[in-house]
Chain A
Amino acid sequence: MELEAIQKRFKLVYDHESYRRIIAGKEVIVHCHHYNSRIQNTVEGARQINGRKIILSSAETIFADYIADIFEPNDSIDDKWQIVAALYAHLGYGLLDFSEINQGIITAKSSHFVQGWLTGFEERTEPVCTFTEGYLQGAIYAVTGEIVYVNEESCMISDAPECRFVVKKDRILPIARYPKKIFNFKAKTDSEFVKNPNIDEQKIIQSLINMPICGNEKGLIPIFGVYLAAMPADFYNLVCIRFVEEMRKSNLFYVAKRLLMNSAESCAMNTFRGIVNSKEWRSLIAPMVKTQEDELFGIIAVSNALGWGNWHVAKLIPHELLIMQSLNGYEAIGFREYRDKIDSPQCFMLTGVAAGIMALVYGEGTIRERFGIYFSEESNCITCSDHACVFEVEKV
């Protein structure tokens, strides 16, 4: 099958009303290697739970369905392996080689997760492609209907020439299912936000929609000074929800919450520092930026274009206070779909990111030095039946 024909199935649809990016019928969020590696580090690093399993099985569950939905009735098995590899590359995860699939071997010569960890995190020796293991388990199920385990035997993170995944067919457990309820939510339209005269958000969003944010010849998306990747919102939601739930079982709910928010805060600073130093920012957004506040509004515009939240500035006192309102953030909507209402806010990513943006724009020093200089709290959340999620960030 021609690659071009496959890629037509991955055509981006951007819903301007909801600020959603949709690829092959699935809402995807564009995050960068900082967030992906930090979430992985947080979830896998928690010794009280099996974080690796959360990531792996969430990926398996999501991609088993996602990939199956992309297939068309006339696709051959070869076509399907091609589609699996093409989707993986298109979303920016890397390159997969299925030429030895009959021997139960899949290799990857390029990996977002390896590159992301190497450029974003400390040294690591154990294999890092947990997500890919889950992706492959889901993909194999979608292509062949077989329930398998995929184990990364060697990884480029520890200087192997390629990541090597071995398929094991001795699995009995079925693919886990995490059913979603329909949550008919209509985002409020009467909110009033602070307008920035210099930053043209719609222009930024349209430019980013037109920008081909998809994998290059190595299946990577090195844009805006970071490695981007388009990940199904469901994946992030499942991982975070399950992580918090698992930690709650160990009576560490607030620890889980703090860890996720702290990861997002560090991620935001790293991500947007990369973005504001990138050539893409310099050519597209920097010409609009004249003040620190413009930079903040530019960052928010970029995050909206990447599908993070349809969130906007409700109040800004430079250096001191930021109030953001998210009208239909993927975390809140996802939580309602997977779990329904709850009595405490659940948008940990946006809570941490809000503090991180303030620290990046108004702070000084290294990321480590900037961390924690703002305190962010989600005061209203759609998960608590509020009409919108509200994040209040104050200087500590």
Chain B
Amino acid sequence: MIDENFKEYQYLPIGVLILDRSLTIESVNARFCEIFNVKIDMLINTPLDHLFSPKDRKGSANFYDKLSQYHQGFLDVQATFRLNRADYFVRLRGMQIDKQWLIYVENTLIEQDITYDFLIAQERWENIFKNSEGGIVILDTKRRILEYNKIFFEMMHFRSEHEVFLSEEALLGKNLFALFKRGDFDWLDRAICEHIKAPKYKQLHKNVWYRDRYLDVRAGTISLPIKGFVGCFIIFQDLTERKLAEERQNHLLSELQHANNELSKTLETLRNTQSQLIQSEKMADLGQLIAGIAHEINTPLGAIRSSVENLTELFTKLLIEFPIFFKDMSPVQQGDFFKLLEKSTRTAVALNSKEKRKCRRKLAKELSAQAIENADDIADTLIDMNVYDDIESFLPLLKDEKSQFIVHKVYELSSLQRSTKTIATASDRAAKVVFALKSFARHDYKGEKVDTNIIEGIETALTLYHNQLKRGVEVITQYDDLPVISCYSDELNQVWTNLIHNALQAMDSKGKLTIQAILEENQIVIHVSDTGKGIPDEIKTKIFEPFFTTKPIGEGSGLGLDIVKKIIEKHKGNVTVKSEINKGTTFSISLPIN
């Protein structure tokens, strides 16, 4: 039948192939040969299968699928033919007529062909659809899946009740919302149903969690100009990573905030503890200092008290005895008496015990030579009165029969004078200590720098440690003429006392303490050296660390040098240490002048 009509096919504007049952080419029209630039002889008796391009297996597979399931009407597929080494994208429309196949072949890649335009449009659409970053699904008017892209498939990963993955084909034609677990997208199903009832373009938008994914869901209706409402589309954007990142960030921020709060609390506690420790350190140092100062003040006070007692006793006695004593003395004797008294109160070289013994022996001998009775006693008293030379002018007085009594009275009166001197000296000493204490305790209340003489601060510290130093420490000071510098003087005083205190401990209060204050170009350098046991190399780097101490537990907080370092750093200065075992240690402090 086809053969009978084949002449007519020759004039059709498209290619025509006539195939036998085994799909072997029996006839070809001229247009086919023209379009694909082939000779008819090349095609006759060739299986159609040979025309399919190996590059488009999808096309040929689609053709065979359709062919095997062909029942009636036209089968209509797109495929690629390879003819004369050129590939042609073709549309094949075929039908079986008796035992033959009639196939219309159109080359769709001819520009300005409407099929071509449709194909290009379809490819363009598929390209966008396929490469979209979101999962896209298109539903028909009954919410059945018509089309979807790879992202949608992988995002949803629908599974059967036995956790078996649904294939891509299995999704097609299924109601999308029946695939979700009940409740997951009911809101969207309801909204889409509403749209279907009264279709008008409106986009739905919501962000939701679905399984372990956080999705941005947007849906809208599809209305075509001619067919009107044909369904809807849904775009799922996976925001999980962003959401998780946000949550992680929020969590981290919250943790950070919490950690910050904790750190703040810890810092506060540490500050309090540090403050307490520093206070303890200060108090420990201060305790020792105060013990020394107490001793320093107690000593002159004792001397004063003793002198006052002496004065009180002698005054009482002399007030009663002197009128009678002087009444019995001649004017010459009275003159000699006061001369002797004056000599006894002169400032003379103080004799040591050995010298005193030697002088007493010599004086006793001289007095004996003058036939003075009780020469030994009188010599003894005279030596106590610091009278051991030039006694010739007093010989008349000493030769008097009551000379021992007269000399004793002179001694008592000179004692009065010595007591008053002692009181003056002790008062001066106490006043000096109090002054040093006042200098040490001077606070820069406003926390501002004040002009300070560094040497005064060092001297004040030395004064306060005088009690400890005097027992066996030789103090050597070498001071350049230093300018006044602006500093936190109270804190620097703490530096000097700490260093002196450490030096004393290092030397076990026996040795040589050398303090040098040197003026260099733009800085003042203070070296505090002791002759103590030195610092081992392995701990040199640690001595400025807080809480590091070599002292027995309870004796030091380990903050002394840390405080020194911090105070010096606060002054933009520097502190270094040089030490040699069993030779001593030198701490060097440099302070900028400006």
Contacts and interface: CB of A to CB of B under 8 A. Distances in A.
A271 to B, nearest CB: 10
A258 B55 CA distance: 15
Interface stretch (A165-173, A191-199, A304-312, A367-375): A367-375
Contacts, number: 110
A296 B49 CA distance: 31
Given A251-B20, A259-B65, A369 B130 contact: yes
Interface stretch (A115-123, A147-155, A384-392): A115-123
Contact of B64 (A34, A227, A259, A277): A259
B68 A42 contact: yes
A253 B153 CA distance: 35
Interface in B418-457: none
A366 B168 contact: yes
Q: Taking each of A222, A372, A396, which has the highest tally of chain B beta carbons within 10 Å of its own beta carbon?
A: A372
Contacts of B169: 120-122
B212 to A, nearest CB: 15
B460 interface: no
A38 B68 CA distance: 14
A210 interface: no
Contacts of B60: 258
Contacts of A367: 167-168
B64 A222 contact: no
Contacts of B22: 251-253
Contacts of B21: 250-252
Contacts of A45: 65, 68-69
A255 B67 contact: yes
B458 to A, nearest CB: 73
Given A46-B68, A369-B150, A122 B164 contact: no
B57 interface: yes
Contact of A119 (B20, B23, B164): B164
Interface string A113-133: 001001111110000000000
A372 B58 contact: yes
A249 to B, nearest CB: 10
Interface in B167-187: 167-170, 172-174
Contact of B170 (A118, A255, A277): A118
B47 interface: yes
A34 B167 contact: yes
Contacts of A273: 165
A40 to B, nearest CB: 13
A372 B57 contact: yes
Interface in A235-262: 250-255, 258-259, 262
B252 interface: no
Nearest to B99: A251
Contacts of B165: 119, 225-226, 273-274, 277
B54 interface: yes
A327 interface: no
B120 to A, nearest CB: 19
B471 interface: no
B71 interface: yes
A119 B64 contact: no
Given A222-B162, A258-B60, A258-B61, A270 B68 contact: no
Contacts of B172: 122-123
Q: Taking each of B166, B169, B174, which has the highest tally of chain A beta carbons within 10 Å of its own beta carbon?
A: B169
A262 B61 contact: yes
A119 B172 CA distance: 11
Contacts of A122: 169-170, 172-173
Given A47-B68, A250-B21, A375-B54, A119 B167 contact: yes
A220 interface: yes
A83 to B, nearest CB: 25
B56 interface: yes
B70 interface: yes
A365 B168 CA distance: 11
A119 B69 contact: no
Nearest to A46: B68
A252 B22 CA distance: 5
A369 B149 CA distance: 10
Interface residues of A, number: 42
Chain B interface SS verdict (over half)? loop
A120 B65 CA distance: 17
Contacts of A259: 64-65, 68
Contact of A258 (B64, B149, B166): B64
A118 B57 contact: no
Nearest to A123: B173
B160 interface: yes
Contact of B57 (A250, A365, A368, A375): A375
A254 B61 contact: no
B163 interface: yes
B77 to A, nearest CB: 14
Nearest to A253: B22
Interface string B53-86: 0111110110011011111000000000000000
A245 to B, nearest CB: 15
B162 A227 contact: yes
A252 B169 CA distance: 26
Contacts of A202: none
A395 to B, nearest CB: 11
A99 interface: no
B139 to A, nearest CB: 14
Contacts of A222: 160, 162-164
B205 to A, nearest CB: 26
A254 to B, nearest CB: 6
A366 B166 contact: no
B48 to A, nearest CB: 10
Contact of A365 (B20, B54, B130, B173): B130
A115 B173 contact: no
Contacts of A365: 130, 150
A34 B58 CA distance: 19
Q: Taking each of B49, B58, B149, which has the highest tally of chain A beta carbons within 10 Å of its own beta carbon?
A: B58
B160 A255 contact: no
A37 to B, nearest CB: 9
B254 to A, nearest CB: 33
A372 B61 contact: yes
A371 B58 contact: yes
A121 B165 CA distance: 12
A3 to B, nearest CB: 21
B516 to A, nearest CB: 71
A48 interface: yes
A115 B166 CA distance: 10
B57 to A, nearest CB: 3
A48 B68 contact: yes
Contact of A255 (B23, B149, B157, B173): B23
Given A251-B20, A252-B22, A255-B64, 20 more contacts: A47-B68, A47-B70, A115-B160, A115-B162, A115-B164, A119-B170, A122-B169, A122-B172, A225-B164, A226-B164, A226-B165, A227-B162, A227-B164, A253-B22, A254-B49, A255-B49, A368-B58, A371-B57, A371-B58, A372-B58
Interface of B: 20-23, 47, 49, 54-58, 60-61, 64-65, 67-71, 130, 149-150, 153, 157, 160, 162-170, 172-174
6 contacts: A115-B164, A119-B167, A121-B170, A255-B68, A365-B150, A371-B58
List the 8 closest pairs (A to B, CB-CB), nearest first.
A372-B57, A251-B22, A222-B162, A123-B173, A46-B68, A372-B58, A251-B21, A262-B61
